[in-house]
Structure 1
């Protein structure tokens, strides 16, 4: 397909995009920008985006994608609760992933990929079960690390984004592909921002964590 085709397809998709889709995209962008700044409001933004996206996927009979978004909803609620500063307790600091947590990440990716692949292969008319499953399971692991406030969450999320972009173009969804490219770029910046937070937190003069997770 030539460039003119993609420009025409992109323009047509923009014209046909519903208000609900625009709202979902807007809150998804807001979520990742707030995540980069280590702000707890990323979670309510993500919850709104996830609820709308889940409804949209269900309405077009993409039941597996709808269920995946419900997983994101659960992880967003869990992450929100995990980030909230409890009374008389310090907030959860940004940190690097431990060996034990990496084992969990590997289990999420491997188990999630196998489960999704088998489900898509045998119970749906999916034409890209291997690729689709990989994009989803790496995003699952990234969301879990985000909830734990681990620097490497950006790495897992960008692995998912990296494979999602060509998949979305293959499915002739250029608008969503462009959004994913934007999220990929922001995630790179977020990775380096969070690394700087870890350095600041470990300085002798820094005292307790300064990320202020409950701030807006």
Structure 2
């Protein structure tokens, strides 16, 4: 146990300023996501661009592809959240059956595809592990872009596998960041559920009021 503590301390000391910047931006992003704020996207894009550089050096190629995908989905999500100026922003909701089928397709098809790419075209030493972390995160980010509450579930499935993977690759601060994201995602799910339930209650109340009462 003591040797693990010393290893952790040594890796923290070896953390570069670039890694710290990526971690700080990553923490800011997840708190913005928990608060349901659209600023999570520009913050996340900045963090991800830095992470791509760092993950390439760690030979986590599926994580790099995940990061590129994240940038694309962030741009899409940013637009989808705000839409046009005269339209209301998209509300947080539960995923429907079709969206769940799409989510599962992203997870398992993405896992297989990424595994094949890693085995055939990269010197990855953890292709199954790396591919799984990335495919589940892909699905989570797609749900996040659609403002579906289940995004927190998929992202935490990815996080729980990513923590030991990042530590194994000596990216200790990224592992710590992922642990923070795991905890915050739990509260994010609870917060979004509260928002959804409150909006449902408000809608139910408005339906029971007479037409004149709604404008009162």
Q: TM-score, normalised by structure 2?
A: 0.88
Give the superposition deviation at 1:115: 0.6
Aligned residue in 1 for 2:87? 89
Aligned residue in 2 for 1:157? 155
SS state of the match for residue 204, structure 1?
helix
Write 1 or 2 for the structure with the bigger share of helix: 2
**Which ranges in structure 2 are unaligned for 5 or more consecutive residues?**
207-216
Q: RMSD between aligned alpha carbons? A: 1.8
Runs of 4+ that moved beyond 3 A = 58-65, 169-174, 204-207
Residues 46, 181 of structure 1: alpha-carbon distance in 2 compared, 3 angstrom cutoff: same
Name the larger-Rg structure. 2
Aligned residue in 2 for 1:213? none
SS state of the match for residue 90, structure 1?
coil
| Structure 2 residue 208 is matched with structure 1 residue 190 | no
Count how many residue pairs are aligned between Structure 1 and Structure 2. 205
Q: TM-score, normalised by structure 1?
A: 0.88
- Among 63, 75, 78, the residue aligned to 2:76: 78
Pairing of 1:23-34 with structure 2 (within 5 A): 23-34=21-32
Tell me the distance in 1 between the aligned counterparts of 2:54 and 2:71: 14
The answer to whether the 8 Å contact 2:63/2:130 transfers is: no
Cα-to-partner distance string for 1:116-143 (whole Å, 9 max, x where unaligned)? 0111122222222111111100000000
Tell me the distance in 2 between the aligned counterparts of 1:54 and 1:38: 25
Give the superposition deviation at 1:94: 0.4
Give the superposition deviation at 1:67: 2.8
**Which ranges in structure 1 are unaligned for 5 or more consecutive residues?**
208-216
